[in-house]
Amino acid sequence: MAWTRHETGPSDDGRWSVLRIVTVLWIAACCGVIVMGLPRMYPKADQRLAYAFREPSMDLDKPFANCAQAHAAGFYDIPRASPAYDGGQDGDNDGIACEPDPGDPPPFLGRLKTIAKRLKPVT
């Protein structure tokens, strides 16, 4: 039976545990080197990712006249932190202005297009 093997003395399990720990530490070290090294190899990559995923309305400098204009320009769910936020366009005062109307296309589709456009290589 398997349990008698553990009672008789050291088995392969001990060596495998050490090997497993060393392997995990090695993989963790490799991941650390990659994570720490990538920004040094490609210094602009993290800036570009941050820009791509940045809330688009943060790049605006003033609110839209109304939510219809915001929606026509492709802006939905404008957060309070954005310069484009207007409390008058946030009817439920939850910090999000110009939420999509029922029947509007899902805003995340437009957001995905923006992210893809921002991630395209500059030629």
The yes or no reply on residue 92 touching Ca ion (CB under 5 A) is yes
Structure tokens at 27: 């993989």
Its sign, for the CA torsion 79, 80, 84, 86, is: positive
Rule CB under 5 A: choose which of 52, 73, 96, 115 binds Ca ion. 96
Among 57, 84, 90, 110, binds Ca ion (CB under 5 A): 90
Q: Shortest gap between Cβ of 94 and Ca ion (angstroms)?
A: 4
Instruction: Measure CA of the first residue to CA of the last residue in the chain; give whole Å.
Output: 68
Judged by CB under 5 A, the residue of 88, 94, 117, 122 near Ca ion is 94
Nearer of residues 12 and 94 to Ca ion, judged by Cβ? 94
Mark the segment that binds Ca ion (CB under 5 A) among 20-28, 40-48, 66-74, 84-92.
84-92
CB 37 within 8 A of CB 28: no
Task: Tell me which residues in 45-64 interact with Ca ion (CB under 5 A).
Answer: none
Contacts of 119 (CB under 8 A, 6+ apart): 48, 49, 52
Structure tokens that stand for 114 in this block: 């923006």
**Shortest Cβ 71–Ca ion spacing (Å):** 14
Residues lying near Ca ion in the complex (CB under 5 A): 90, 92, 94, 96
